[in-house]
Amino acid sequence: MNVFQVCSSLAPRWVKKESLDPAVVVRWRHEVEQSGLDVDCATLTGRIGKEELRQTLRNNQLLLRAFEQALQEESLLAEWPHLLLLTDRRGVLLSVAGPQEVLDNARRIGIERGTRFDLQHAGLNAISMAVRLGKPVYLRGDEHDLRLFKDWSCMCMPIAADGQIHGFLDVSFPCREESPGTELALVEFYMRVLKERLARKCPKRRRIAMDRRFGEYGLSPREREIAYYWALNMGGLQIAALLGITESTVRSVIKNIYRKTGVSDKGQFMRKFLA
């Protein structure tokens, strides 16, 4: 497969700083100034509290699991000094990946879970722009507000599925004097692979896919509904309370589901439909 040919056909339309309405840039600059952000700071200090971080990680479990699975399935370019950052819809960092030396340097400047990359806490950067615009953004190093980021070019893409944005995926790599064409092509390809894998894990899309599979076995609408919650490892009592039916009804329906799908227990059922 020629990665450059794939990229040319898949590449999104990247928003660049020079393409923005100057009035928007002025307004954003004013917000940064009003926030009191020190553009010459040595480390990032804006981050959410411990309890909020725990809740944020819980709320984004599916996104995080998909990200980790994608990293396992797609080998990172070990010799390429890049950072791959996953954030929630607000621009709060959920996870970061890259070569160990680059990760260590990132931690030294405050890039870790819970770090805030929104405009007020990290100035103009690819993530804060993408959060504001809801579009893929490419930002050169010298276009960042913070001196910390001046040596890095960044590309950030929304992770969208079912008509809504679930988070953002950013790839940051060292600036070079020559044109970053090779980096852009590799980043676009790699980000697209990850974005598609992440999008497939989103709850609504996952349910639609499972519902389609259940339909292949002739399950009725009620059986498909109960099968979905059963696949999420919910118990009979939980499903009964959720759907307003008795537990005995749930158990009876599950027996029919097993018979139609050719399984004999919950373990077989989950392996069959969650593989």
User: Is the CB of residue 155 less than 8 Å from the CB of residue 137?
Assistant: yes
In angstroms, rounded to a whole number, what is the distance separating the alpha carbons of residues 269 and 106? 43
Question: How many CB atoms neighbour CB 6 within 10 A?
Answer: 15
Residue 4 is predicted with a pLDDT of: 36
Residue 104 is predicted with a pLDDT of: 94
- In angstroms, the Cα distances linking 204 to 45, 161, 171, 216 are 35, 8, 26, 19
Residue 199 is predicted with a pLDDT of: 64
Kindly report, as residue ranges, where domains of CATH 3.30.450.40 are found in the chain.
Answer: 3-201
Residue 116 is predicted with a pLDDT of: 97
Predicted model pTM: 0.70
In angstroms, rounded to a whole number, what is the distance separating the alpha carbons of residues 251 and 266? 12
In CATH terms, the superfamily for domain 3-201 is GAF domain (3.30.450.40)
Question: How many CB atoms neighbour CB 245 within 10 A?
Answer: 14
Residue 5 is predicted with a pLDDT of: 41
Residue 242 is predicted with a pLDDT of: 87
Give the three-class secondary structure for 5.
Answer: helix
Residue 173 is predicted with a pLDDT of: 86
In angstroms, rounded to a whole number, what is the distance separating the alpha carbons of residues 208 and 15? 32
What are the average pLDDT values for consecutive 10-residue runs of the chain, which has 275 residues? 39 82 94 93 94 92 80 62 90 93 93 96 96 93 93 88 80 72 66 67 75 93 92 88 92 96 92 78
- CATH class of the 205-274 domain in this structure: mainly alpha
Query: Could you tell me whether strands 93-97 and 83-87 are parallel, antiparallel, or unpaired per DSSP bridges?
Result: antiparallel
User: Is the CB of residue 269 less than 8 Å from the CB of residue 257?
Assistant: yes
In angstroms, rounded to a whole number, what is the distance separating the alpha carbons of residues 190 and 77? 10
Kindly report, as residue ranges, where domains of CATH 1.10.10.10 are found in the chain.
Answer: 205-274
